[in-house]
Amino acid sequence: MIDIFTTGGTIDKVYFDALSEFQIGPAAIPDMLRENNVHVPHRVTQLMRKDSLELDDADREAIRVAVAASDAARILVTHGTDTMVLTGRVLAGIPGKTIVMTGAMQPASVRASDAEFNVGFALAAVQTLPPGVYIAMNGMIFDPATTVKDRAGQRFVQQ
Amino acid sequence: MIDIFTTGGTIDKVYFDALSEFQIGPAAIPDMLRENNVHVPHRVTQLMRKDSLELDDADREAIRVAVAASDAARILVTHGTDTMVLTGRVLAGIPGKTIVMTGAMQPASVRASDAEFNVGFALAAVQTLPPGVYIAMNGMIFDPATTVKDRAGQRFVQQ
Amino acid sequence: MIDIFTTGGTIDKVYFDALSEFQIGPAAIPDMLRENNVHVPHRVTQLMRKDSLELDDADREAIRVAVAASDAARILVTHGTDTMVLTGRVLAGIPGKTIVMTGAMQPASVRASDAEFNVGFALAAVQTLPPGVYIAMNGMIFDPATTVKDRAGQRFVQQ
Amino acid sequence: MIDIFTTGGTIDKVYFDALSEFQIGPAAIPDMLRENNVHVPHRVTQLMRKDSLELDDADREAIRVAVAASDAARILVTHGTDTMVLTGRVLAGIPGKTIVMTGAMQPASVRASDAEFNVGFALAAVQTLPPGVYIAMNGMIFDPATTVKDRAGQRFVQQ
């Protein structure tokens, strides 16, 4: 069983015409897993719907509590990219679990989105890596302790 | 360095109006990796352009020779799904390499394709699994020795 | 009321994994009109599911009979592009109706399809043109009596 | 020759990761016409890049001046939907030209966009309608003098 927690972020942004803006909508991942014919046992829980720039310490603590309380040994967290590294560091103390974080630079609702690729990538990482916390982005696996987002390059970089 | 070998299959089918039919075109994977902002070192080699139902023993031997000759320890092979298991068994004897096979039930050129998800999934699997041959499909990792494609269910099943 | 008749053609091709090939599926146009929030009164009838290279004289006669029997003055016909001109000439004798034919060079199921654009174009043409038979392709309106498909150029050309 | 003027609006919104928001980008219409194999003579001019809620009287006057000064008899204007009707009324006094306005409820960059359909629809309307100002949305042709946008219904309605 893989426990998937969604927190919002760019991956879940959709355009609302009545508001003339994009906002975080329902989690994209359940439709995505069904449409890609994914058969690995999993369940999806939406913890919050926030841009990761708006996450505060209480939000990160809530994510940590939910992950720690899960009876699953393998946890996937979708998250905005801007503060993914910070949340990853908060999750670092949880023992005995493989925790993989991913997200997207372009919303899943957009044609040129990296969301499907990244979720596919993260779903394999969470099944194969030993316990620990990982960021799965840009086709690479990063340690949140030593990683930063390079906004201009639209990528994560190991320091 | 990840060595990526493409052999054709549904993943690379595109529609040719002048022929009134779909045929296997150029490998989809280079554009896919670029568009998804993938930064892991890799190179792509197109070995053949065949529907996997048309692959014969000589083709499988050619794939085996190319994989064995690679100086990379991590190899990704894109392949039609109908005989992916057969080719996987031919590759089973190669020592010291992590070899991951993937493909798609719907061409990458099609809106509802599982190609991006599957390639993302396989790209993590090839970086994280120990040496051996694996099929990475349906969000799961399979051993070709004990796996069959369930055509009606559009999925792979462990026997 | 606009009467929409579908006959098959590239526009309706979808990939069937179990057959390892594309075939003409259900008409794409009902979903397309709903997803594009179209509110003009219309009804859709699937007359046949054929590649237009396979249409014979009896098929063309069946299309002519259906169009002539409609109580609507405005008729849209989706059709394969290879013999669209031939069917258009068969429809030329029907008095008092605006008949617009369209189709696609790439299936509606494909990312790079021209289907949505062409159907949108044809739906305006059928509401605005005087009685007659027209081919609505490539952002242009053609008279089937003097038009040919240029296969290499993937376009229709007035002669 | 069809003169196409773009003014911004939802149709041209794209997601900028570095800003964590969608903004109006380059006009979507040139790529769209090329990718849909459109061969009718046209030229595209970007007049402004604004959400239509931000257009003021001076902007509408600038659009009116550009349309009036065009040497083309057929003019297509892409525009945000929220105040499309207002701009349409400002254009109403220009004699001798067929002026068609269109836009989208979902950006062209989004998978579920109505942009391609609407632009196709408008491109036929502008070639076939007599002189006047028209709104081409929802598969229908509206008179701006008697039309409102129904935000909740995501559609235009004749009053």
Amino acid symbol at B126: V
Catalogue the active-site residues of C.
10
D119-124: average pLDDT: 98
Q: Crossing angle of helices C84-91/C57-69, nearest 10°?
A: 50
- How distant is the Cα of D95 from the closest Cα of chain A, in angstroms? 33
D78 DSSP β-pair partners: D6, D102
The set of chains that have 3 or more CB pairs under 8 A with A is B, D
Q: Does the distance separating the beta carbons of B106 and C110 come in below 8 Å? A: no
Q: What is the mean pLDDT of residues C56-80?
A: 98
* Cα A129 → chain centroid: 16
Q: Are A29 and A44 in contact (CB under 8 A)?
A: yes
pLDDT in tens, C138-149: 999 999 999 999
| Contact between D119 and C117 using a beta-carbon 8 Å cutoff | yes
**Residue C91 in tokens:** 């429809």
Positions of D annotated as catalytic residues are 10
CATH code of residue D67? 3.40.50.1170
pLDDT over threshold 90, residue A79? yes
Mean pLDDT of D4-21: 91
Q: What is the pLDDT of residue A16?
A: 87
B interface with C, Cβ–Cβ below 8 Å: 10, 13, 15, 17-18, 20-22, 51, 53, 80-82, 105-107, 109-112, 151-152, 154
Question: What ipTM is given for this predicted complex?
Answer: 0.97
Contact yes or no for C127/D141 (Cβ under 8 A): yes
The minimal CB distance from C17 to the residues B17, B106, B109 is found for B106
CB count within 10 Å of CB B150 equals 11
Asked if residue D63 has pLDDT above 90, the reply is yes
Share of chain C above pLDDT 70, in %: 100
Q: What is the mean pLDDT of residues A100-111?
A: 96
Q: Residue C114 in contact with residue C85, Cβ under 8 Å?
A: no
Chains sharing 3 or more CB pairs under 8 A with chain D = A, C
Average pLDDT taken over every residue of chain A: 96
Residue B119 and residue B100: Cα distance in Å, rounded? 10
What integer is the mean pLDDT of A14-19? 86
D9 close to D79: Cβ distance less than 8 angstroms: yes
- List the beta bridge partners of residue C148: C157
Q: Write down the residue that tokens 């054709």 correspond to.
A: B8
For residue A20, the model assigns a pLDDT of: 78
% of chain C beyond a pLDDT of 90: 92
Interchain CB distance below 8 Å, C128 and D138? no
Chain B CA closest to residue C17:
B105
| pLDDT band with cut points at 50, 70 and 90 for residue A153 | confident
Interchain proximity C109–B110, CB inside 8 Å: yes
Residue A22 is predicted with a pLDDT of: 84
Q: What is the pLDDT of residue A40?
A: 97
Task: Share the mean pLDDT of chain C.
Answer: 96
Residue of D nearest to C34 (CA): D138
What pLDDT score was predicted for residue D95? 95
- A17 pLDDT more than 90: no
Give dist(CA C52, CA C79) in Å, integer.
7
Give yes or no for residue A146 having a pLDDT over 90: yes
Cβ atoms of A148 and A154 within 8 Å: the answer is: no
Predicted TM-score of the model (pTM): 0.95
Determine the Cα–Cα distance for residues C65 and C93; give it in Å rounded to an integer: 11
Tokens of C90: 């068969």
Supply the range of the domain harboring residue C65. Answer: 2-158
Map residue B100 onto helix, strand or coil. strand
Q: Which residues pair with A149 in a beta bridge?
A: A156
Query: Which amino acid, C85?
Result: V
Give the strand pairing for B140-142 and B132-137.
antiparallel
Query: How long, in residues, is chain B?
Result: 159
Smallest Cβ–Cβ distance between B39 and the set A38, A129, A155 belongs to A155
Any alpha helices (H) in chain C, and if so which ranges?
29-35, 57-69, 84-91, 115-128
Number of structural domains (chain B) is 1
Q: What is the pLDDT of residue D159?
A: 87
Is residue A19's pLDDT more than 90?
Answer: no
Closest CA–CA distance from residue B72 to any residue of chain C (Å): 32
**Nearest-by-Cβ selection for D129 from C116, C122, C128:** C128
Chain D contact set for A109 (CB, 8 A) = 110-112
Closest partner residue to A10 (CB to CB) among D13, D17, D112 is: D17
Write the residue in B128, B129, B139 that is nearest to A38 by C-beta: B139
Which of C11, C14, C20 to mutate to probe the B interface, most B CBs <10 Å? C20
Quote the CA–CA distance of B48 and B26 in Å, as a whole number: 10
Interchain CB distance below 8 Å, D124 and C119: no
- Measured between beta carbons, the chain D residues lying within 8 angstroms of C139 are 33, 36-40, 120, 123-124
Greater model confidence, D151 or D91: D91
Residue B43, strand partner residues: B3
**pLDDT for position C153:** 87
Rounded Cα distance between A117 and A123, Å, is 10
Residues of chain B with C-beta less than 8 angstroms from the C-beta of A118? 36, 120
- Residue D122 tokens read as 């408008």
Show which subunits contact C, needing at least 3 CB pairs below 8 angstroms.
Answer: B, D
8 Å CB contact between A108 and A32: yes
Determine the residue of chain B that is closest to A36 in CA distance: B114
Residues of chain B with pLDDT under 50: none
A→D contacts (Cβ < 8 Å), by residue, are: 10, 13, 15, 17-18, 20-22, 51, 53, 80-82, 105-107, 109-112, 151-152, 154
Helix (H) or strand (E) segment spanning residue C142: strand C140-142
Q: How far away is chain C from the Cα of B159, in angstroms, using its nearest Cα?
A: 20
- Taking alpha carbons only, the member of C3, C11, C84 closest to residue C44 is C3
Instruction: Please count the residue pairs, one from chain A and one from chain D, whose beta carbons lie less than 8 angstroms apart.
Output: 56
Cβ-based contacts of C111 with chain D (< 8 Å): none
Cα separation of D140 and C38, whole Å? 8
Average pLDDT, chain D: 96
Residue C130, Cβ density class (10 Å: 0-12 exposed, 13-18 middle, ≥19 buried)? exposed
pLDDT digits (tens, 9 = 90+) for C79-115: 999 999 999 999 998 999 999 999 999 999 999 999 9
All residues at 6 or more sequence positions from B133 whose CB lies less than 8 Å from its CB, including other chains: B88, B89, B91, B92, B94, B99, B100, B101, B143, B144
